[in-house]
Amino acid sequence: MTPDRFVTELATIRLGDVFNPYADRCPDHDRANAPEIRRRNLKLVLGAALDLGVDTIWLGRDLGYRGGRRTGLALTDERQLQSVRHAFGDLPLQQATSTGPISERTAQEVWKVISQLPRAPLLWNVFPFHPFESGDPMTNRCHTAREARCCQNILGTLLEWLHPAHIVALGNDAHRALNRLGWNSICVRHPSYGGQAAFTKGIFDLYGLPVDTDERRSPS
């Protein structure tokens, strides 16, 4: 498996009420070549992770319309692209949209924590695309069991290919998906829906880092 082959296979998948950022173009927000830009960005990140020997993967649930739908990178919005560039060796990443950049709360929280770690993990999702409510592409919904089965081989292929030493599941959905595939993981609170403080504490405890008490008391 290579980054090019992996991303090319991602781009072949089509599902109803699901935006595939590596193949689909949003008529309202994307540049003309947005799918190509997102494919190239993901290839660059995967290639850099391999070259750097990244041994940890953080796994979320699915892409959001303010974040991964636009960037093609899990748990990453456009305002965090600069953080990704630096984390993986000054990658020449590009913005795929003609509007924005806009922020996603989850992406902000994830990269705020990553910036305090000695080494960035590779970020991925159980469902690598953006599922939305029928008729309203700018919404988020949880992927269905059928959709998960359609993409189960993708996650399995990625894990077998990279074979990470450590997998961190962000939330119970990701934890259960990994269990179904037979992969052990450490589950921490997902940072959405008021879980920022618990997420930060969970990650810092895992990495053996002190959590600022002011951060714990900050409102969610």
Tokens 């089509």, residue? 14
DSSP H helical ranges for 53-141:
68-71, 81-87, 105-114
Please report the pLDDT score of residue 193 as a whole number. 83
pLDDT digits (tens, 9 = 90+) for 112-157: 999 999 999 999 999 999 999 999 999 999 999 999 999 989 999 9
Please report the pLDDT score of residue 152 as a whole number. 87
Please report the pLDDT score of residue 219 as a whole number. 34
**CA dist 5 → 10, 86, 125 (Å):** 9, 25, 18
In the predicted structure, residue 43 carries a pLDDT above the cut 60: yes
Find all residues with CB under 8 Å of 108, minimum gap 6, and list them.
77, 79, 80
In the predicted structure, residue 217 carries a pLDDT above the cut 50: no
As given in the structure block, the two tokens for residue 113 are 């924590």
Share of the chain above pLDDT 70, in %: 96
Task: Answer yes or no: CATH 3.40.50.720 is held by domain 3-217.
Answer: no
Distance CA 147, CA 39 (A): 21
pLDDT digits (tens, 9 = 90+) for 2-28: 999 999 999 999 999 999 999 999 999
In the predicted structure, residue 220 carries a pLDDT above the cut 80: no
Indicate the domain borders of the chain.
3-217
Range 201-206 average pLDDT:
96
In the predicted structure, residue 190 carries a pLDDT above the cut 80: yes
